[in-house]
A and B are shown apart, each in its own frame.
Chain A
């Protein structure tokens, strides 16, 4: 394969920051789970109670997987991360493969590369190889981390290998998906659908007799049973599946044109709908797919919260750490659990809000803003469309997660009134999300080159919310996060003063951002 070596070095160079960041974040999450598992169930008694609860809760098993060896810290981590970790690994593969194949073709860079002395297959092969390298690094890092926690080496290696194997298989799925779809977003959608189907199949199988789990690559990864009498042959299944997918991708690549996909793009309307000519209509049209995806994801997150809430007491036990974690809430343990889980969903959903605001930056960098501003469209009106979609979308996403939790909670408790209670509880978090939107708008207007720092602020808020109480961070640090100030319903009472205050801060930040945007050059590149 001519040019493979060059493409490999080139691709690795372009991924030199992303892969380490991805691996470090996943390893830190796994390490924090291990540390928590040690802290939360220090005695054999407390752990036995935890194991009994987990095994008796089909909702949890559907969400996480079959609990093979939750009695040990390693087994608990393997249980909690077996399926989630496989999803994270799969997404890493998807982004690496997508970015260096379909995205390159869409940007027109691929034809430049392929006009050189390079095999037709080299760019895709290099992308898959780099994904494989990333999975290997991630698997080794996970195994070493668990060994560092004093867990058995065989189980630790099996855990790392199961995650890496699932990740590798989805590199194969991504390699096929980028042949099928002509757009990068479409290819990601196909991988996402395959990932979702794998997850659902194994959920149904894990709750039932296990047959369906064998149709799911994530089920294969979990079947390696780390820390519970490791089985190695499912790894061969994952590798064989990867090979089959790569052969398929190669055959498709051999038959298609550069830039083309198997699915031809549908023609669009020759005229625009009236709503499109309004800034909000345009912003919504460009982001409706993302908004729908986030709302669906958060709804499913809400469902999983509802499924676990009734057992919150047994799962979390009664330790000082739990009290610290829930210090901000102050109700019954179930309500505390619901409140903190909804907060967690809101922090995740803030990802949409920031993405929706930073879309303005994408439009600006892509050169699509200039022609719009050369019309009678004032800058603040254009930006207001994106702010409206971000703020309204944030509320819609919160309502979706509250609705998911409410429906399940109502079904379990038989109290239909829980639906509006939990939707309302989730919506009460909106002003904090709006402040995050304000921060992103202010950055976009005043420091456009640093606009991505909004993501760092979100990460800081996440840490403050979940590690702050455990780490004992000083109040002034905690106060910087808007999520510190929201009343955590349904555990706490509704207090409108902080909500109005946060809304005012959000409005002020948006105003500052828009004022900055009016004054600066466009485009700033």
Chain B
């Protein structure tokens, strides 16, 4: 099975600004792929290139085995997009906007539209100008999810949704995954990414900083250990990969590079472990490690 999206060395400049600077991204068919990055890192620009709205300056971009720029219309029959900032026509009702987008894509399932409108608790008779941000987002989500497409490109689709609707959204994405369809999910909500995504790409300043499954990415960071030992906890500071060590009597707290965890545990074994809690790195820490300049790698 080939990849749904494969991007390598993608460059896009706007005047003097290099928005994308050699970005790589691979999304396998059938996976839910998390796309993380700080504001202005190039997530939306990447998605617009994938849609053939922006033309790449360099690099190769393949979407569903097609060129997004030259095969835009054909590809768009097979994918759906939810923009991060949904703008609707002020004098069209939400239901009209859903039908418009769905029919232009080649038709949508009226039963599924009704079902989704019910699940998202959307009033389709309100005019575009009267919707709140969250409700505008629901209109775009219903239009995208009601179409039978192979690939969903979702650009921060839940930034305006309440927690209840967020749960509905997660349910919908689970169904999409079960149906074997592919999702690229750009998001800032890390719990959402952790719950939904098989693999994650983290981008920063227009480049891919990290890409892999959550387990692989965790391996690259540190595990926090809080341990009480029978003997005085000595010899830990000398171990490679141990950081921020604090010792009070028989208690030690430290972070250890996940790749060095084994050595640290072997040393602790010789000290006689009474209690031990270990906490795997959260996605938040992963995120901060790649974004925050103040946090040492």
Tell me the A residues contacting B by CB distance below 8 Å: 106, 182-183, 265-272, 276-277, 282, 285-286, 366-368, 370-379, 519-523
Q: Which of B54, B85, B93 contacts A522 (CB 8 A)?
A: B54
Interface string of B150-161 (1 = CB under 8 A from A): 000100000000
Could you say which of B87, B91, B105, B124 contacts A375, with CB atoms under 8 Å apart? B105
Shortest distance from the beta carbon of B53 to any chain A beta carbon, whole Å = 4
Interface residues of B in 121-174 (CB under 8 A from A): 124-127, 129-130, 140, 143, 153
B68-102 contacts to A, CB under 8 A, are 72-74, 76-77, 79-81, 83, 85-93, 95-101
Closest approach, in angstroms, between the C-beta of A524 and any C-beta of chain B?
A: 9
The answer to whether B53 touches A522 (Cβ under 8 A) is: yes
A371, B83: Cα distance in complex, Å: 7
**Cβ of A520: which chain B residues have Cβ within 8 Å of it?**
55
In the complex, are the beta carbons of A374 and B88 less than 8 A apart? no
Cβ contacts under 8 Å, A183 to chain B: 90-91, 129
Residues in B with CB closer than 8 Å to A367 are: 83, 85, 87
With both beta carbons as reference points, the residue of chain A lying nearest to B113 in the complex is identified as A271
Given contacts A183-B129, A272-B103, A376-B104, contact A371 B140 (CB under 8 A): yes
Answer yes or no: B193 CB below 8 A from chain A CBs.
no
Is A376 in contact with B73, judged by CB distance below 8 angstroms? yes
Separation of A371 and B98 alpha carbons in the complex (Å): 11
A523 to B85 alpha-carbon distance, docked (Å): 13
| Chain B residues within an 8 Å CB radius of A368 | 87-89
Residue contact B99 to A376, C-beta cutoff 8 Å: no
If the complex has contacts A265-B127, A521-B55, A523-B53, are A377 and B104 also in contact, measured as CB distance less than 8 A?
yes
> What's the tally of chain B residues with a CB closer than 8 Å to chain A?
45
Contact B100 A282 (CB under 8 A): yes
Asked if residues A372 and B95 are in contact (CB atoms below 8 Å), the reply is no
Q: How far is the CA of A366 from the CA of B136 in the complex (A)?
A: 14
| B48 contacts partner chain A, Cβ-Cβ < 8 Å | yes
Bound state CA distance, A373 and B101, in angstroms? 9
Say yes or no for B4: interface residue by CB 8 A criterion.
no
CB distance A370 to B76 under 8 Å? Answer: no
> Is the CB–CB distance between B96 and A272 below 8 Å?
yes
Taking CB atoms, residues of chain A closer than 8 Å to B53 are: 370, 373-374, 521-523
B96/A378 in contact, CB under 8 A: no
Inter-subunit contact B81/A371 (CB<8 Å): yes
Which of B85, B95, B140 is in CB contact (< 8 Å) with A268? B95
Which listed residue, B86, B99, B101, touches A271 by the CB 8 Å rule?
Answer: B99
Neighbour of A285 across the interface among B51, B92, B129, CB < 8 A: B92
- Given contacts A276-B99, A368-B88, whether A270 and B124 have CB atoms under 8 Å apart is yes
Q: Which 6 pairs from chain A and chain B are nearest by CB?
A: A268-B93, A272-B99, A277-B103, A374-B81, A267-B125, A270-B95
> Can you pick out 15 interface pairs between chain A and chain B where the beta carbons lie within 8 Å of each other?
A182-B129, A268-B92, A268-B125, A268-B126, A276-B100, A286-B91, A366-B87, A368-B88, A373-B52, A373-B76, A374-B53, A375-B76, A376-B104, A519-B55, A521-B53
Contacting pair A286 B100 (CB below 8 A): no
Residues of A close to B89: CB separation below 8 A? 286, 368
Q: Are B101 and A372 in contact (CB under 8 A)?
A: yes
Q: Are B73 and A377 in contact (CB under 8 A)?
A: yes
Given the interface contacts A367-B87, A521-B55, does A269 sit within 8 Å of B104 by beta carbon? no
| CB 8 Å contact bits of B36-57 with A (1 = contact, 0 = none) | 0000000000001001111100
From the candidates B96, B106, B129, name the one contacting A265 in the complex (CB within 8 A): B129
Selected contact of A376 from candidates B77, B83, B93, B153, CB within 8 Å: B77
Residue of A nearest to B87 (CB): A367
In the complex, what's the smallest C-beta–C-beta distance from A449 to chain B, in angstroms? 12
CB nearest to B82 among chain A residues: A371
Closest to B143 in A: A371
Whether A370 lies near B127 (C-beta < 8 A) is no
With both chains docked as a complex, state the minimum distance between the C-beta of A438 and any C-beta of chain B, in angstroms: 24
